[in-house]
Amino acid sequence: MFRLLKLKPPHGWNAVGWELGIVTLGVVIALAAQQWAENLSWSSKVGATKRALRAELQEHYGYAVEFRAVYPCLQAQLDQLRNRVLSSRSVLEPAPVYSEESFHYVLRLPSKVYPNDAWVAAVDDGTVRSLDQPTRRLLAGHYGQLPEMAELLSAMNTIEPGLVALTHPLPLDPTVRYLIVKDIEQLRGRLEYLDLINGQVIDYVTRVGMLPPAQDAVAVTQRYGTYQFCKKHRLPLRPFTQAMRPVPN
């Protein structure tokens, strides 16, 4: 370029201008190409986040529909256990124990843990900011409920295993009878609250617009063990049309 400046004007300056223009254009093109590649990569990442969130929410929806469908069956099982305790005389009439492979129980409950991997990843990599504000607000409300649901399930898991004691002919005095019925009623209250929250899960997934096909949710629920147990023992179930009905938050 300095060599070109030694030429007589205007030839030297024109040559320098062309050189600078070519270099500048090359830089602009390179920056534009880099920005395009970054935008393409970000769009691809946002698309992957949306697909992961959709799959995760549809899994949550299936779990919620299952719980709502079997909820009357859960209460009926508790009624049977409570009535057995109250109707027994000085010695408890043992409750039947059920078995599935190596799994033994007196009360069949769903115990699904709702995953949040897609949401955590979206927050960590920042792709959640690319979602519109109403969607972000709904997702934050939904995922904010999951820790509370996990605590409720954990609290139930501290009570439910102890109910296996009801399979033995326990001596019953008023204190023992009261403590057993108290545990059953505490479990009933937690199930009632979980039924409400699962209805709200359905509401969140509905409002965010990521519902799976209704027939898929029905087919998945019908494969789950608790639903099959309730059908086998002819215990009451909530119709799917009602189980899929959102409970407003």
Q: What is the pLDDT of residue 4?
A: 46
Mean pLDDT computed over 189-198: 95
Q: What is the pLDDT of residue 22?
A: 67
Per the domain annotation, does 153 fall within a domain? yes
Per the domain annotation, does 129 fall within a domain? yes
pLDDT in tens, 65-106: 999 999 999 999 999 999 999 999 999 999 999 988 877 899
Per the domain annotation, does 181 fall within a domain? yes
3's enclosing H/E stretch is helix 2-5
Mean pLDDT computed over 182-191: 94
Per the domain annotation, does 178 fall within a domain? yes
Write out the DSSP string of 52-110. HHHHHHHHHHHHHHHHHHHHHHHHHHHHHHHHHHHH--SB--PPP-EEETTEEESS---
Q: 71 CB contacts (<8 Å, ≥6 apart)?
A: 191, 195, 238
Give whichever of 102-111, 153-162, 220-229 has the largest mean pLDDT.
220-229
Question: What's the CA gap between 141 and 133, in Å, rounded?
Answer: 12
Burial class (CB in 10 A: 0-12, 13-18, 19+), 152: middle
pLDDT in tens, 217-227: 999 999 999 99
Q: What is the pTM of this model?
A: 0.83
Mean pLDDT computed over 17-43: 63
Number of domains in the chain: 1
Instruction: Assess whether pLDDT exceeds 80 at residue 193.
Output: yes
Per the domain annotation, does 116 fall within a domain? yes
Per the domain annotation, does 249 fall within a domain? no
User: Domain residues for 124?
Assistant: 2-243
Q: What is the pLDDT of residue 179?
A: 93
Q: By C-alpha distance, which of 153, 163, 136 is closest to 63?
A: 153
Per the domain annotation, does 19 fall within a domain? yes
Per the domain annotation, does 248 fall within a domain? no
